[in-house]
Amino acid sequence: MLSLKFWIRLGLLTVVWGAAVPGRAPVDEERMHPHLPTSPRLRTISGEETQEFWHSASKKLIREKLEFVRNTKKAKNIILFLGDGMGLATLAAARSYIGGEELKLSFEEFPFTGLSKTYSVDKIVPDSACTSTSYLCGVKANYGTIGVNAHVKRGDCAAMANETNHVFSLGKWAMDAGKAAGLVTTTRVTHASPSGVYAHVADREWENNAVLEEACGELSDGLQDIAVQLIHGEVGSKLKVMLGGGKRSFYSPEHYDKGRRTDGRNLVEEFEALDAGNTFVKTQKKLLNVNATETGRLLGLFSKSHMHYHLEQLADPDNNEPTLEEMTQKAIEVLETEEQGYFLFVEGGKIDISHHETMARIALDETAELSKAVKKAREMTNPEETLIVVTSDHSHTFSVSGYQPRGSDIFGAAKANGKDGKPYLALSYANGKSFQDYYNTETHERVDPTSLPTIGDFDQLFPAMVPLESETHGGEDVGVFASGPWAHLFTGVYEQNTIPHMMAFAACVGDGLTACD
């Protein structure tokens, strides 16, 4: 017997087929691509009206590509920039934010780009923990785990204790080859992305002993939390630069910085006691004053939890946190003193956090901050010997809707109305906590978004279709942008875990394939 599903499918097929047959009523073009009331472009780029403009810009690009000489030298230095949650829609909207659709973020000027497939071993849409294992350790793993293979399920204390399950990062491969390594982040230094450089845990939340012991009980004997692994671990204890937020996992509650450790340890003092050259800083001023040639290892913790959003730092006259660009600059200054070169990981971690909150304006600003940090790194290093790769761990449910006139405020209304007669915003999310702000649960109608009192605020929430406490990640591919030795390897569509192998190839580190074989 044919099922109901079959008949419904057949029915749909007939409708689609019918629409394509000449002489039948055409698909409603007007509905799909409406003639909006003419609203002039707000900004005109001189020449865009002519063919000549587009032809000559295209010629210029082709000539640049023809003149480009592939660099097949061994990379002395390798830098990986990670825009956490920085999907392609975020990049497109960020161009409007920094001044216009025709502009590019610094790393969009890089000569080679590719697409990275981000799924994990157990989930179609991954998180920042398993993706960190992927783009740093070269192995896909399970959601929520860091620096361990997929034999370890999230929260499996016994499997975490089994060292045969541990996988190591490009940071270790570089250090084993005599290079230095460092990390920079705007989140806690023990948060998911930076932890991939040095930690092995079955759960990203085990940042200090209190959470680890609560989860593993008796099994926690012999296991180390992420902060301990940063200061004393096989990889963490050798890192030359560690900059970011997250003091709370280094201290106990009695300490004046009020930590969350319950074992009475002060990991910052332990770090300082390890070696006379070890330097700890906790303010922007102290960081900027660090003399790179006189510093051994550098630990900077600038906030209790994640560092503040750049827009919050700007608004706070007492701000004493450095920017991502400043941290990147100091990290390179310190690492440059190493004769054999270095690996540096830099994370713009608050793109993701603001997207989870549906705070699109902040997400685009944090993306612009990452762009500045990359620009600084490219200026400070020689593209002949330093490979820079910029990518993201995963996307978000963030979307850029039509059809605003060119030059419009990207945060504004789309200059069209919904079927309910109300305007809608160009930027929105498929889910998130802002649902209730934009939906009147009594009248079951959408709220006119332009009537909200928060419109224009830097922390304004953008609309979401499904009510969720925290907006989710998105599953489409993310971009990879490369410049320097072997950058041409990064073209095409590939699995995310290939990235560190290609960087290792370029730098001749690790025990996989290398350019020096």
Ligand X SMILES: *[C@@H]1O[C@H](CO)[C@@H](O)[C@H](O)[C@H]1NC(C)=O
Where on the chain is the footprint of ligand X (CB under 6 A)? Answer: 151, 162, 164-165, 291, 293-294
310 has binding-site annotation: no
Nearer to Zn ion by Cβ, of 136 and 489: the residue is: 136
Nearer to Zn ion by Cβ, of 225 and 347: the residue is: 347
225 binds Zn ion (CB under 5 A): no
Q: Which does 437 bind (CB under 5 to 8 A by kind): ligand X, Zn ion, none?
A: none
- In single-letter form, the type of residue at position 248 comes to R
Q: Which does 162 bind (CB under 5 to 8 A by kind): Zn ion, ligand X, none?
A: ligand X
Among the residue ranges 229-237, 285-293, 321-329, 349-357, the one whose residues contact Zn ion (CB under 5 A): 349-357
Task: Please report the DSSP string for 151-198 in residue order.
Answer: TSPTT-HHHHH-GGGB---HHHHHHHTT-EEEEEEEEETTSHHHHTTT
Q: How far is the CB of 250 from Zn ion (least distance, A)?
A: 23
366 has binding-site annotation: no
Which 3-state string (H, E, C) describes 427-492? EEEEEEHHHHHCEECCCCEECCHHHCCCCCCCCCCCCEEEECCCCCEECCCEEEEEECCCHHHHCE
Q: Which does 293 bind (CB under 5 to 8 A by kind): ligand X, Zn ion, none?
A: ligand X
471 binds Zn ion (CB under 5 A): no
Evaluate whether 329 touches 287 at the Cβ level (below 8 Å): no
Q: How far is the CB of 384 from ligand X (least distance, A)?
A: 26
Burial of 282 (0-12, 13-18, 19+ CB in 10 A): middle
84 has binding-site annotation: yes
Evaluate whether 446 touches 422 at the Cβ level (below 8 Å): yes
d(C-alpha 342, C-alpha 509), whole Å: 11
At 320, list the tokens.
Answer: 């004493």
Block residue for tokens 């319950």: 262
At 26, list the tokens.
Answer: 């055409």
Q: How far is the CB of 429 from Zn ion (least distance, A)?
A: 13
Evaluate whether 175 touches 169 at the Cβ level (below 8 Å): no
d(C-alpha 197, C-alpha 370), whole Å: 19
Q: Which does 420 bind (CB under 5 to 8 A by kind): Zn ion, ligand X, none?
A: none
Nearer to Zn ion by Cβ, of 213 and 352: the residue is: 352
Among the residue ranges 310-318, 330-338, 347-355, 477-485, the one whose residues contact Zn ion (CB under 5 A): 347-355
Nearer to Zn ion by Cβ, of 310 and 394: the residue is: 394
Q: Which does 165 bind (CB under 5 to 8 A by kind): ligand X, Zn ion, none?
A: ligand X
Q: How far is the CB of 293 from ligand X (least distance, A)?
A: 5
Nearer to ligand X by Cβ, of 151 and 422: the residue is: 151
Secondary structure of residue 18 in the 3-state scheme: helix
Instruction: Count interface residues toward Zn ion (CB under 5 A).
Output: 1
Nearer to ligand X by Cβ, of 95 and 330: the residue is: 330
3-state helix, strand and coil shares in percent for the chain, rounded to the nearest 5? 35, 15, 45
191 has binding-site annotation: yes
Q: Which does 454 bind (CB under 5 to 8 A by kind): ligand X, Zn ion, none?
A: none
352 has binding-site annotation: yes
Secondary structure of residue 230 in the 3-state scheme: helix
352 binds Zn ion (CB under 5 A): yes
Q: How far is the CB of 195 from Zn ion (least distance, A)?
A: 14
Q: Which does 428 bind (CB under 5 to 8 A by kind): Zn ion, ligand X, none?
A: none
| Angle between helical axes of 324-335 and 360-380 (0-180°, round to 10) | 30
Q: Which does 352 bind (CB under 5 to 8 A by kind): ligand X, Zn ion, none?
A: Zn ion
d(C-alpha 94, C-alpha 364), whole Å: 5
Cα dihedral value 268, 272, 274, 275, nearest 10: 160
Secondary structure of residue 106 in the 3-state scheme: helix
CA distances 24 to 13, 17, 28, 142, 514, Å, are: 15, 10, 12, 51, 60
Nearer to ligand X by Cβ, of 291 and 441: the residue is: 291
Catalytic member of 106, 116, 120, 128: 128
Nearer to Zn ion by Cβ, of 106 and 193: the residue is: 193
Render the burial of 164-186: b for 16+ CB within 10 Å, e for the rest: ebbbbbbbbbbbebebbbbbbbb
166 has binding-site annotation: no
356 has binding-site annotation: yes
d(C-alpha 366, C-alpha 43), whole Å: 25
Closest chain position to Zn ion (CB): 352
326 binds Zn ion (CB under 5 A): no
195 is catalytic: no
Q: How far is the CB of 442 from ligand X (least distance, A)?
A: 56
Q: How far is the CB of 144 from Zn ion (least distance, A)?
A: 12
β-bridge pairing 427-432 and 439-440: unpaired
d(C-alpha 391, C-alpha 482), whole Å: 9
For 371, the enclosing helix (H) or strand (E) is helix 360-380
At 423, list the tokens.
Answer: 């305007």
Q: How far is the CB of 222 from ligand X (least distance, A)?
A: 12
Q: What residues line the site for Zn ion (CB under 5 A)?
A: 352
**Which residues sit in the known binding site?**
84, 191, 193, 347, 352, 356, 393-394, 473
Active-site residue set: 128
**Which residues sit in the known binding site for Mg(2+)?**
84, 191, 193, 347
**Which residues sit in the known binding site for Zn(2+)?**
84, 352, 356, 393-394, 473
